[in-house]
Amino acid sequence: MSTSSQRPLQGDAALVRAIGVFALAAAVINSTIGGGIFRMPGALAAQVGSAAPLSLVVGAFAIIPIALCFAAAGSRTHATGGPYTYVSVAFGPFLGFVAGALMWISHVASSAGVAASFAQQVANLEPAFGTPGARAAFIIGTYALLFVLNAFGVRLGARAVATLATIKLAPLVLLVLGGLAFVDWSAVSFSPADVPSIGALGGSLVLVMFAYSGMETALVPSGEFSDPAKNVPRATVVAILLVVALYLGLQIVGQGVLGPALATSPIPLADTAGKLFYAGRTLLLATACVSMGGFLLGNLLGSSRLLFALGRDGYLPSIYGRVSASHRVPLMGLATHAGLACFLAVRGSFDALAAVSGGAICVVYGVVALAAWRLQRMGVAERGAPFRMPGGALVPLIAAGIMTAILFTLKGDEWRAIAISLAVLVAVYAVLHALRRGHAPASPPGA
């Protein structure tokens, strides 16, 4: 075998376009239904009481326009990078870098938080994993397995994501379908009059947006999608509609079965299932573990490709823009994302990062909405007929406006954390830009 066949390959042309519409829809669902859904019903009930389902409906009106913007932008720009690529093409490299780097930091934090919660769920099933040493060993082993699954090619990673999405969805769908018959509808309200305050509704929407987020991770490996002009819009919109319907059903069943106890339950879905049928609590705890494992796998698959895109474009060392010769995957991106998330998971917890991560995602979503409008106005269409949003700028402006409104509900500490993160990112960009200019070859005479 020749030496050249073993040499790492560079750029999007080295990637394999093996992710079809079903695998992409499964990836969006898998990246969205992670750890948040197993905690969200109780948290929403604690914030807005019986009107918690209203928060999910309002959140749906926010996330559906965002999904349309992602579908439009993703059908027009096909290079790996997701929001980083969309914003770079629309507004230039600086805003693209900020969007991409902020999204990656948010995803590292969310991956670490879900992994920490994953370890806690496992400890509820098997108390031996509750000790600090066993917990750390479990988290490290989890990330090692996730790395191996992704390192052997995008097809294996995508199939594993699709399989885990199917396994975890079945018990959740059954809980909704079986639980609706036992709902006490007096405990469920869609009336704005039952919302304690505008501030409570705004705070709940930050949590809802965090729970609805995930499509941006699944759409990062654009360079590995087959027929993205058709498959990205179909997969994105269908997946988000299914997620909204499932979340709303789970909230209604949880409130209608547990009543006021939902607001104080640390494992609301498991407690709901346990009240409905024998062994339901154990089944939902196991489902939570599968769900979180699937989320972590999808998060690693997508976020490692974001590092690949930053390396490809010179914002990180060039090694990040290379893929392995044997399986065509960005090993450096996989190792970096898994290693950092593993370190944070061993040391931290999910709760402290949720609001900041949700706020950061809202910033990214708002910028992507504006990028989708600009890409459509510019007529960018890299491969095939792109998805065209109806109403011109109407949908993107609505989406960006909703994200801005949600951001104004953040607390001072959360704003400061996001502002500090953005300041650090700008400094990193400035340093890398200066280094690239310093190492640029001299212009030829007469140029």
Query: Model confidence at 292, in pLDDT bands (50, 70, 90)?
Result: confident
Give residue-wise pLDDT tens across range 346-362: 887 766 666 677 778 88
pTM of the model: 0.71
Tell me how crowded residue 22 is: count the other CB atoms within 10 A of its CB.
13
Average of per-residue pLDDT across 22-26:
67
Residue 326 phi, psi dihedral angles, 5° rounding = -80, -45
Tell me how crowded residue 322 is: count the other CB atoms within 10 A of its CB.
21
Q: Which of 30, 43, 22, 116 is CA-nearest to residue 291?
A: 30
Give residue-wise pLDDT tens across range 132-141: 899 999 999 9
Q: Which of 255, 211, 209 is CA-nearest to residue 48?
A: 255
pLDDT value of position 220: 58
Average of per-residue pLDDT across 27-35:
71
Residue 427, burial from CB neighbour count under 10 angstroms (0-12, 13-18, 19+) = exposed
Give residue-wise pLDDT tens across range 89-138: 899 888 888 888 788 888 888 888 888 888 887 887 888 888 989 999 99
Q: Which of 244, 339, 243 is CA-nearest to residue 291?
A: 243
Tokens 């801005």, located at residue: 404
The residue ranking higher by pLDDT, 10 or 71, is 71
What is the C-alpha separation between 385 and 278, in angstroms, rounded?
Answer: 52
Q: Which of 94, 236, 253, 239 is CA-nearest to residue 172?
A: 253
